[in-house]
Amino acid sequence: MWIYEKKLQYPVKIKNPNPKLAQIIISQLGGPDGELAASMRYLHQRYAMPYKQVVGILTDVGTEELAHLEMIAAILHQLTRNLSEEEIKNSPFATYFVDHTTGLYPVAASGVPFDMKYVGIKGDVIADLHEDLAAEQKARVTYDNILRLCDDPDVRDPIKFLREREIVHYQRFADALRITQDNLDSKNFYAYNPAFDPKSQKT
Amino acid sequence: MMNQYYGVSSFSGRGGRYDYDRATYRRPMNRGVMPGNMPGCMSNRTFGTTQGNGACSGGNSNTPRLSGCGCGMNRARQQDHNDHRDHNDYNAHNDHRDHHDHRDRNDHRDHDCDGRDRVIPAVNRTNGCGCGCGNGADAAACKRLMDQIRAVDFALYETVLYLDVYPNSCDALETYYKLKAQSEALHAEYEATCAPLTAFGNKSDTSWDWMGKPFPWEYDAD
């Protein structure tokens, strides 16, 4: 089960609200490569995994992604506080505001709501770990793109932290893939699916 | 000590990740490649067993460093000798610790990172105060404490992620307990003087202080 700790993993302190930035950064909340997609991916993949190291890393990285989801929410909350109607009217944020006011609803920057179709769960150890490696790189690219579009140092600071975490997660999933390969026959890694085939079929 | 190698420096510019088992930097050449491309030594390695060349064995000063990969090669890997950091590594045989096998160390722990069961007495691991000696912490003190908690908890979580994929690393386990002790002490101080950190951290007999303002996502949170 999950226990909630009342702190952000990394501080978020944004002095200047900016609805235009919020419109872009919301993709890391509800977009295809955002933190909600990441946490749902890892936490759901772990149920089929046979190796304790892989279950462990999926559980703990998935939990950390929930913490990152909270950080993105904090960034969005602080970017959209104390807004006047004038500021909202003259920004792309108006189309979000009309449906959600300043509530936080996971959508992509394009306005498409979060969709589990973004998440690949194949029930095969090698396939799922490759999905995770790709997901971390896509998240890293999304953060790169946010940094291209963002000048405010208060916002850049937590975004840079989150970007670095994606890279570290990528390394850990690569470790998990290597462990998986160590547990399989190097003459044929695809001989069976350890997430499905019974142990009696293993050579 | 070990902390400098965690976090962002696992992707350091020095040519790759720090490998705690071999106490050297390894190039990231074999990360995430397709199965079947792994060199023979790496693909034969298994985890979770007590093999002689397992992650925790430290070797001794009389024989050349074994490759430690379990493939039986009796020479140190090329990059170990050419790596200028070899002689300052944590596991190098010219450090302050004794030169015998890691398992000979006479400390209170039985190294289950080698696969054996052991129990760590709780008294050796926590030194948090938790005495409720609230000397009246102000907002600035709570912010400072929270920054320290974030830093220590981050290093601790990085250690957890590392141990998830390298459960046999004695050094990482040692770091884990050191950081956990620091974290518990800071958590206890914060909860005694500032606010509960979890739903199970309420301290007052007369009031329920969980999830008071400011919330963590607000501008004036700690």
pLDDT digits (tens, 9 = 90+) for A57-66: 999 999 999 9
CB B35 within 8 A of CB A181: yes
pLDDT tens, position by position, B126-185: 223 333 333 445 889 999 999 999 999 999 999 999 999 999 999 999 999 999 999 999
Average pLDDT, chain B: 63
A16-50 pLDDT tens trace: 999 999 999 999 999 999 999 999 999 999 999 99
Question: What ipTM, to 2 d.p.?
Answer: 0.94
Indicate yes or no: CB of B36 within 8 angstroms of CB of A186. yes
pLDDT value for B21: 61
Contacts of A176 in chain B (CB under 8 A): 165
Which position has the higher pLDDT, A177 or B136?
A177
Residue A11 pLDDT: 98
Q: Residue A10 — pLDDT band, cuts 50, 70, 90?
A: very high
Q: For position A29, what pLDDT does the model report?
A: 98
Inspect the interface and report whether the beta carbons of A175 and B165 lie closer than 8 Å. Answer: yes
Return the pLDDT at B155: 98
Mean pLDDT (chain A, rounded): 96
Whether pLDDT at A119 is above 50: yes
**10 Å Cβ neighbour count for B112?**
16
B-interface mutation test, from A2, A3, A5, most B Cβ less than 10 A away = A5
Task: Classify residue A123 as left (phi > 0), alpha (psi -120 to 50) or beta.
Answer: left
Amino acid at A81: R
Q: Determine phi and psi for B24, rounding to 5 degrees.
A: -155, 165
Please give the full DSSP string across A138-160, using - where no structure is assigned: HHHHHHHHHHHT---HHHHHHHH
Mean pLDDT of B24-37: 47
Above pLDDT 90, what percent of chain B?
35
Q: Do B217 and A12 touch (CB under 8 A)?
A: yes
Q: What is the mean pLDDT of residues A111-123?
A: 97
Q: What is the mean pLDDT of residues B95-109?
A: 48
Segment holding A29, helix H or strand E: helix A27-30
Residue A183 DSSP code: T
How far away is chain A from the Cα of B29, in angstroms, using its nearest Cα? Answer: 11
Reported confidence tier of residue B213, pLDDT bands at 50, 70, 90: confident
pTM tops 0.90, yes or no = no
Cα–Cα separations (whole angstroms), residue B164 to A160, A176, B104: 25, 9, 25
Residue of B nearest to A164 (CA): B8
pLDDT at A198: 79
| A182 — pLDDT class (breaks 50, 70, 90) | very high
For residue B46, what is the nearest residue in chain A, using CA coordinates? A182
Q: pLDDT tier at B23 (50, 70, 90 boundaries)? A: low
Considering CB atoms only, which of A74, A176, A179 is closest to B216?
A74
pLDDT score recorded for residue B27: 52
Distance of alpha carbon A152 from alpha carbon A147, whole angstroms: 9
- Is B7's pLDDT higher than 70? no
Hey, is the C-beta of B36 within 8 angstroms of any chain A C-beta? Answer: yes
The beta-carbon neighbor of A73 closest among B35, B211, B217 is: B217
Nearest alpha-carbon partner for B161 in A192, A65, A79 = A65
Instruction: Name the pLDDT band for A55 (thresholds 50, 70, 90).
Output: very high
**Rounded mean pLDDT, B17-45:** 48
Residue B50 pLDDT: 36
Percentage of chain A beyond pLDDT 90 is 96
- The minimum CA-CA distance between B186 and chain A, rounded to whole Å, is 13
How far is C-alpha A108 from the chain's CA centre? 13
- A positions 91-110 inside 8 Å of B (CB): none
Q: Which two tokens stand for residue A43?
A: 């936490």
What does the pLDDT look like over A192-201, one tens digit per residue? 999 999 765 5
* A86 interfaces chain B, CB cutoff of 8 Å: no
In B1-67, where does DSSP find H-type helix?
40-43
- Mean pLDDT for A73-91 is 96
Averaged over A105-133, what is the pLDDT? 97
